[in-house]
Amino acid sequence: MTKQYKTLGEFIIENQDSFKYSSGELSRLLNGLRLAAKVVNHEVNKAGLVDILGEAGDQNIQGENQQKLDVLANEKFIQTLKKREIVCGIASEEEDDFISINSFDNQHQNKYVVLIDPLDGSSNIDVNVSVGTIFSIYRRVTPVGTPVTIDDFLQPGVNQIAAGYIIYGTSTMLVYTTGDGVNGFTLNPALGTFYLSHPNMRYPDTGNIYSINEGNYVHFSQGVKDYIKYCQKEEDDRPYTSRYIGSLVSDFHRNMIKGGIYMYPKSSVATEGKLRLLYECNPMAFVAEQANGLASDGKNRIMEIDPKELHQRVPFFCGSRKMVEKAEEFIKKANA
């Protein structure tokens, strides 16, 4: 007999009461993200058949060349959230500044802001490698009824009320948390419906995979170099396996399922790190912690960092608890 899977919509409704801000707005917001994800998934799957590959000809605020799919995904998520009138503000990795959104009666009544990386790893699209979307949701801190301000977006990760990612790969999955565990939903493309396929996702306490761009090894700090050598040493359950896709969502997803650590440290050429605190590190840290993992900048918990600007960069170490703790140990020892 065919196994009956619960749909994402059914799951959201059934679990709405367990969420402390149970007003129905968060459910509508998650459904809006679900809809936009399906639209972007459709476009990603057409790559190579229509003119959506390659660079768009512009740079984003970080000075990175925007891919055509970056622009498309950014537009789709913003348009979908705007039209459903469920958020009062959006900040995107692809936008210079945050976007303030009026409610239908122009009274700014909505309570949530969304921060989003519309298409993480988009440079991999041209070579048919998995990419993803990362999202983070906060309750506004300014009074309802007023336009949002920068303070609504510059909140530490501990204030997140929901976060997750969509991975566009051999199958398309939406993985998210509202602070009560992590669940993954796989898209059935024939029906256009997400089904609960990975309930209660959890990192193993340790693993045997380390994910880092070792081409930058000479630029890393001594503590990071020492940890990499530890991973490579033939002793006990080592050497570990090196696996690096170059798409945060893909590397994170694999390591959460199999056990491992993802690292993007600061270096002599990226002195603050490369990943964005608000669009990438905070949401992934929230998911990781809810899945029995850890996320650190090498010294401190990612979600306790007070952001100073929208596009702030930080070092990022994330994965199985014991592996992140060991990396921190090597970094601390080297700095002693």
pLDDT tens figures, 178-192? 999 999 999 998 888
- Examine the pLDDT at 273 and tell me if it is beyond 90: yes
Tokens of 219: 């630029």
> Which DSSP string do the residues of 43-107 spell out, in sequence order?
HHTTBTTBS--SEEEEE-TTSPEEEHHHHHHHHHHHHHHHHTT--SEEEETTSSS-EE---TTSS
Task: Name the strand (E) or helix (H) holding 204.
Answer: none
Looking at the DSSP bridge assignments, the partners of residue 196 are 185
| CATH architecture of the domain with residue range 209-335 | 3-Layer(aba) Sandwich (3.40)
The pLDDT value recorded for residue 78 is 93
Rounded distance, CA 295 to CA 320, Å?
A: 9
Q: Do 8-198 and 209-335 have matching folds?
A: no
Residues 6+ apart with CB under 8 A from 216: 267, 269
- The CATH class for the domain spanning 8-198 reads alpha beta
Question: Is residue 264 part of an annotated ligand binding site?
Answer: no
Question: Is residue 319 part of an annotated ligand binding site?
Answer: no
- Examine the pLDDT at 291 and tell me if it is beyond 90: yes
The pLDDT value recorded for residue 61 is 54
* Residue among 56, 54, 9, 51 nearest 31 (CA): 9
Domain residue extents for the chain? 8-198, 209-335
The pLDDT value recorded for residue 57 is 46
Question: Is residue 58 part of an annotated ligand binding site?
Answer: no
The pLDDT value recorded for residue 106 is 56
Question: Is residue 279 part of an annotated ligand binding site?
Answer: no
The pTM of the full predicted model, rounded to 2 decimals, is 0.92
Question: Is residue 122 part of an annotated ligand binding site?
Answer: yes
Is 207 within 8 Å of 320 (Cβ atoms)? yes
Is 319 within 8 Å of 207 (Cβ atoms)? yes
- Examine the pLDDT at 42 and tell me if it is beyond 90: no
Is 293 within 8 Å of 241 (Cβ atoms)? no
* Residue among 62, 61, 12 nearest 33 (CA): 12
Question: Is residue 117 part of an annotated ligand binding site?
Answer: yes
Question: Is residue 93 part of an annotated ligand binding site?
Answer: yes
Provide the pLDDT confidence category of residue 263 given band limits of 50, 70 and 90.
very high
Question: Is residue 280 part of an annotated ligand binding site?
Answer: yes
Q: Left, alpha or beta for 54 (phi > 0: left; psi -120 to 50: alpha)?
A: left
Q: DSSP secondary-structure letter at 268?
A: S
Tell me the CB-side half-sphere exposure of residue 288, using CA atoms within 13 A.
Answer: 35
Question: Is residue 70 part of an annotated ligand binding site?
Answer: no
pLDDT tens for 207-220 read 999 999 999 999 99
